[in-house]
Amino acid sequence: MSIKVPKGLPALQIVKNEGVPVEEMVTSTGNTLRIALLNLMPMKETTEVDFIRILAASPYEIELTLMKLDTHIPKHTSQYHMQQYYKPFSHLKDKHFDGLIITGAPIEKLAFEDVTYWNELCSIIEWSEKNVTSTLFICWAAQAALYKKFGINKYLLPEKMFGIFAHTILRPDILLFKEMGNRFNAPQSRHTELREEDIRKEKRIELLATSQISGVHIIQELNTKNFFITGHSEYATNTLDNEYKRDISKGEKIEIPHNYYPGDNPQLPPINSWQEDGKKLFCNWLQYYVHNQ
């Protein structure tokens, strides 16, 4: 169907040029799925495009609200952009949303309590339990929510988990994975990990998908419609390429993204082996956890 986004949002024209069915949200109709995106990523415009693109692949009409923190001012996005297109949590906390997506953030090496907006994020997680039908916690947000809710910690990796990895579905009967087979590809880009033994000890959650190489991937909070996802099925084809070349230009030690470039040659265009799986994952989330309330 189509997705409605804040009026004038620059991402609108980008995805419209790709043929994505998107339009400006002038007034709320009440007949659509209301999705909020708490965008903690540094390059917010890029993240907006990624999520608009993948949400618009579903058969539902969606109203996308961009949420921002009251206690944090982004460094890499203009204040005009944040003020024009984003609404602070304090202005949204009395509303109900069908779905909420909380993204990752490049702060995974910090202790959770050292994050300047940790208290507000905890308040948003608590708020979502009563005001959101289904929540997706992505990458660092997945680690943060599992720590906040269940005391599960993250662990620093010896090197960045970076590339495209095959993941095995442990519960193929769950509707989140409908028509996805037993395995699917997904990008990973992180310096920390969750450990399977910690997840399996906690009886209020269940491990749904994992990788022999990149480890824990998707977890569900039992008796809820909340999911914790360590990877980035929403990523565009060139996202890891941009990250890799950015880190190389900064002189950082970084391995070539796993299973991404043909023949591991960064001079060749990357292969997108996860897009269809990602679309199906998000479509299933919208259909069976957000729409079917």
Residue in the structure block whose two tokens are 């729409």: 291
Tokens of 214: 């990149």
Q: Which is the catalytic residue, given 193, 217, 221, 232?
A: 232
Q: Please say if 234 is a catalytic residue.
A: yes
Pairing of strands 155-169, 132-138: unpaired
Catalytic residue among 48, 63, 234, 243: 234
21's tokens: 């069915």
User: Of residues 48, 63, 108, 139, which has the active-site annotation?
Assistant: 139
The reply to whether 258 belongs to the active site is no
The answer to whether residue 179 is catalytic is no
Cβ-proximal residues to 259 (8 Å cutoff; 6+ apart), any chain? 163, 164, 165, 185, 273
Of 120, 165, 171, 163, give the one whose Cα is nearest residue 144. Answer: 120
Q: Which residues form the catalytic set? A: 139, 232, 234
